[in-house]
Amino acid sequence: MATDTLSPRTPAAPAARPPRSTSLRRQKRLASGGVLAVLIIASLLMAAPFLWMALSSIRDPTELAKVPMPLIPQDLRLENYTEALSRAPFGIYARNSLILATAAAVLNVVFGSACGYALAKMRFPLAPAVFGWMVACIMIPFYATVIPVFLMVRHMPLFGGNTILGAGGTGWIDTWWALIVPGAISPFMVFLFRQFYVATPTELIEAARLDGVSEFGIYTRIVTPLIKPGLLTVALLSFEAGWNNFLWPLLVTTSDSLRVIQVGISSFRQEAATDWHLLMAGTTLAAVPMIILFLVFQRYFVEGFAASGIK
Amino acid sequence: MTTTDRLPAAAPAGRTAPRGTRRRASVRTAERRWGLLLAAPATLHTLLWIGVPIVVAFVLSFTAYDIIHTPEFAGLDNYATILGDGLFWRSVLHNVIIAAIGIPVSMFLALVLAVMLNRAVPGRGIFRVMVFLPHITATVAVAMIWLWIYNPSENGLLNIVLGVVGIGPLPFLTNPDLALGSVILVTIWQGIGLKMLIYLAALQGVDGQLYEAADLDGAGVVQKFRHVTVPMLRPATFFILITSLIGNFQTFDLIYILTEGGPANSTSVVTYRIYQTAFQEFRVGLANAQSVVLLLILVVLAFLSRRIVGGTDGD
């Protein structure tokens, strides 16, 4: 593998100067070895915290008090997980996160692709304004609007005991509406979809129009199937954002039955205090689903992240 | 299918031209109608949940509001309060420090890793995954893991490691002199992956002939890196810098779990300060003014970094 880089150059260095060629090759090989060593060390350093999490989650709690604590746990204690599950309803938390993340993925794919397609391929009034607005929205951080969004949710008319003017009750606070609706469509996903659609051939659309296919049919049956990888990318990125979301669910949910897993971990921290074997078991439960999803769909994640830059 | 149905009807002999024009016009109408219809949900949604809140934030920033009583107009009081609010500016300063140290370090490490991974190294994919994992993991989970690594007892991982060389145990998160540095370390660790990925994508677009030309000129590895790689990666660098700066000013989850802004406010950041002002002190008007200031800071940063890096090709 490492010598592959050499092959185009070797014929250029003829047998007339063999000593230089071999020393060069040795140098290159040494350099490759060095690179490999640095990469191994760097990636182990990057992975060490996860390893530590996993090891701690199966550690016997008595080891945690030992000084010095053995780096490798003496035995594998999966009971930590059952104990963590019995101390906090992680199953419900995970289910809630799954619902939230799935809703985010579906809504972004449906409405994000519709808008992205229109912006990329259709001429309609206000199109430049809509595009400019979406780009501007990407620049606006959620933290700059979170308080008004919270107030809007709390004063949602006719919900949660509110009057038609939005006063008197708690509105959408502590409901699925609050969790899902305000963040349902991300302007960034619209932008990403537009990029995917721009790359599709316009001639296809024109041909379909000549054939009398309806505009909606062209969008759903002709062009969208061409960007299937893009659909998956957006679905995965939206799912990830939903699963990892913390501040918003923290603000708008109060009951255990609506708590998502990241907020659940945070509240479990108060409950389990210094029981690090349980805390790490809970953290593993919150982290592992995303890690697995990433490992399976790496390619699509990478494509989306390379275009995003913002977590 | 629809082709055979529609074509004869659309082109009866002799009347092709006028029919065609009319049909094209109706196609245009359909396109306009469907374009609006398809774009409407996302546009209306963002107008309602981003546009309206921005306006509301701006309006409320001129009021005194505590969530329970109706907001009262307070003029520029909130902005005057912010000007004299030492803790707010200290939080801004912490963001600046985290950015000033964390971003260059993680960008440099990301670039080095990307250059290494851009060659035919065995196990490339595995390395890439391992470096990227911290980014994909929820910051809450990341913060929990580091909370345990930074454990001040002799059983915290970092204290075990430092114990080997005879240092410690250190109270990483409870000592005001160490806490911010500990936070920065986590941001570097979590930030490398995405930056590496963007650099890697950019490197794949660099013309290999440039390196061959540099080889002919007898350039060494370091020279090639400085005079070919770095200039070619300028747009990527700008992109990473700007998105990292914006991301940095949105650090919240990490602080919330790791330090709650402490000890003695030594790790408070802007978003955490806004959160406290709004949801713990219930000074909602003031918190909105702080949000407006945050937005202004980000706009200025975006402008400045464009000047510093010299912008992208589009300039």
Could you list the pLDDT tens digit for every one of the 315 residues in chain B? 333 344 444 444 444 445 567 767 787 888 899 999 999 999 999 999 999 999 999 999 999 998 888 888 988 999 999 999 999 999 999 999 999 999 999 999 999 999 899 887 888 888 989 999 999 999 999 999 999 999 998 888 999 889 888 887 899 999 999 999 999 999 999 999 999 998 988 888 788 888 888 888 888 888 888 888 888 888 888 888 888 888 899 899 999 999 999 899 999 999 999 999 999 999 999 999 999 999 998 888 877 776 766 544 433
A311: Cα separation from own chain's centroid = 8
8 Å CB contact between A122 and B38: yes
Alpha-carbon span B91 to B251, nearest angstrom: 11
Structure tokens at B74: 């307070």
Most B-contacting residue of A3, A145, A276, A277 (CB-CB within 10 A), to test interface: A145
How far apart are the C-alpha atoms of A84 and A285, rounded to whole Å? 10
Of A8-22, A26-40, B65-79, B149-163, least confident by mean pLDDT is: A8-22
The rounded distance, in Å, linking the Cα atoms of B240 and B197 is: 10
User: What is the distance between the alpha carbons of residues B228 and B213, in angstroms, rounded to a whole number?
Assistant: 10
Interchain pair A2, B117: CB under 8 A? no
What is the reported pLDDT for A1?
Answer: 37
Residue type, A14: P
- Which value does ipTM take for this structure? 0.85
Q: Could you check whether the bond before residue B71 is cis, i.e. omega within 30 degrees of 0?
A: no
**Residue of A49, A124, A309 lying closest to B194 (CB–CB):** A309
Residue A173, chain B, CB below 8 Å: the answer is no
Phi-psi category of residue B57: left, alpha or beta, with phi > 0 → left and psi -120 to 50 → alpha: alpha
Q: Is A211 on the interface with B (CB under 8 A)?
A: yes
Q: Alpha helices, DSSP H only, in chain B?
A: 2-10, 16-46, 52-60, 77-83, 86-117, 124-136, 139-149, 157-164, 176-203, 208-216, 221-224, 230-232, 234-248, 253-258, 270-279, 284-309
Matching CATH number, A81-308, of 1.10.10.10, 1.20.120.850, 3.40.50.10680, 1.10.3720.10: 1.10.3720.10
Residues of B in contact with A141 (CB under 8 A): 246, 249-250, 294-295, 298
Q: Can you tell me which residue has the tokens 């039955």?
A: A257
A127 Cβ under 8 Å from any chain B Cβ: yes
Q: What span, in angstroms and rounded, lies between the C-alpha atoms of B263 and A257?
A: 33
Contact across the interface for B121 and A1, Cβ inside 8 Å: yes
pLDDT tens digits for range A235-280: 999 999 999 999 999 999 999 899 999 999 999 998 888 889 999 9
* Tokens linked to A83: 């104990």
Domain residue ranges in chain A: 2-57, 81-308
| Residue appearing with tokens 């991300």 | A186
Q: B70 to chain A: nearest residue by CA?
A: A167
B132·A42 Cβ contact <8 A? no
What average pLDDT is seen over chain A? Answer: 87
- The Cα B95–Cα A205 span in angstroms is 48
The distance of B32 to chain A (nearest Cα, Å) reads 4
pLDDT at A116 over 80: yes
As a whole number of angstroms, the distance between CA A75 and CA A58 comes to: 8
Q: Which amino acid is at A60?
A: D
Q: Token digits for A148? A: 């008004």
- Is A14 near chain B, with CB under 8 Å? no
Q: Which of B46, B154, B252 shows the shortest C-beta gap to A143? A: B252
Interface check A292 vs B, CB under 8 A: no
Q: Which residues of A touch B78 (CB under 8 A)?
A: none
Distance (Å, whole) CA A282 – CA B59: 42
B148 closest CB neighbour out of A4, A40, A279: A279
Which member of B46, B137, B294 has the closest CB to residue A137? B46
Whether omega before B263 lies within 30 degrees of 0, making that bond cis, reads: yes
Report CB contact under 8 Å: B10, A212.
Answer: yes
Whether omega for the bond prior to residue A68 falls within 30 degrees of 0, making it cis, is yes
Q: Which two tokens stand for residue B204?
A: 């794949």
Task: Please tell me which residue of chain B has the smallest CA distance to A70.
Answer: B155
In angstroms, the CA A226 to CA A202 distance is 12
List Cβ neighbours of B183 (8 Å cut-off, separation of 6 or more).
B98, B254, B255, B258, B259, B267
CA–CA dist A124, A245 (Å, integer): 35
Mutation target among A24, A143, A191 for the B interface, most CBs of B within 10 A: A143
Cβ of residue A177 closer than 8 Å to a chain B Cβ: no
Cβ burial, residue B219 (10 Å; 0-12/13-18/19+): middle
User: What's this model's pTM, rounded to 2 decimal places?
Assistant: 0.86
In this structure, the number of other CB atoms found within 10 A of the CB of residue B300 comes to 10
Token reading at B111: 């670039």
Collapsing DSSP states into helix, strand and coil, what is residue B73?
strand
What chain A residue is nearest to B287 in terms of C-alpha separation?
Answer: A147
B64, β-bridge pairs: B72
List chain A residues with CB under 8 Å of B240.
309
Tokens of B221: 């590895």
In whole angstroms, give the CA distance from residue A207 to residue B27: 12
As to burial, measured by CB atoms within 10 angstroms (0-12 exposed, 13-18 middle, 19+ buried), residue B250 is buried
| Contact residues, chain A, for B53 at CB < 8 Å | 145, 148-149, 152
Q: What is the mean pLDDT of residues A188-214?
A: 92
Q: Which helix (H) or strand (E) holds A146?
A: helix A142-154
Mean pLDDT is lowest, of A165-169, A175-179, B176-180, B275-279, for A165-169
Residues B148, A137: C-beta atoms closer than 8 Å: no
Kindly list the residues from chain A whose CB atom is less than 8 angstroms away from the CB atom of residue B302: 139
A202 touches chain B (CB under 8 A): no
Q: How far apart are CA B133 and CA A169, in angstroms?
A: 42
The amino acid that residue B253 corresponds to is: D
**Partner residue facing A246 (CB), from B2, B140, B239:** B140
Asked if A27 reaches chain B (Cβ–Cβ under 8 Å), the answer is no
Of the pLDDT bands very low, low, confident and very high (cuts 50, 70, 90), residue A10 is very low
Query: Given an 8 Å threshold on Cβ–Cβ distance, is A125 in contact with B119?
Result: no
Cβ A82 vs Cβ A282: under 8 Å: no
DSSP characters for B129-149? HHHHHHHHS-HHHHHHHHHHH
Contacts of residue A240 in chain B, CB cutoff 8 Å?
A: 136
As a whole number of angstroms, the distance between CA A7 and CA A64 comes to 54
Query: In the 8-state DSSP scheme, what is residue A74?
Result: S
Least confident segment among A4-18, A110-124, A172-186: A4-18
Contact across the interface for A149 and B130, Cβ inside 8 Å = no
Does pLDDT of A54 surpass 60? yes
Give the residue among B115, B310, B104 at the shortest CA–CA distance from B229: B115
Which of these ranges, A159-163, A291-295, B20-24, has the smallest mean pLDDT? Answer: B20-24
Q: Does the pLDDT at position A8 exceed 60?
A: no
User: Residue B18's pLDDT is what?
Assistant: 54
Comparing alpha-carbon positions, the chain A residue that sits nearest to B239 is A309
User: How many inter-chain contacts (A to B, CB under 8 Å) are there?
Assistant: 308
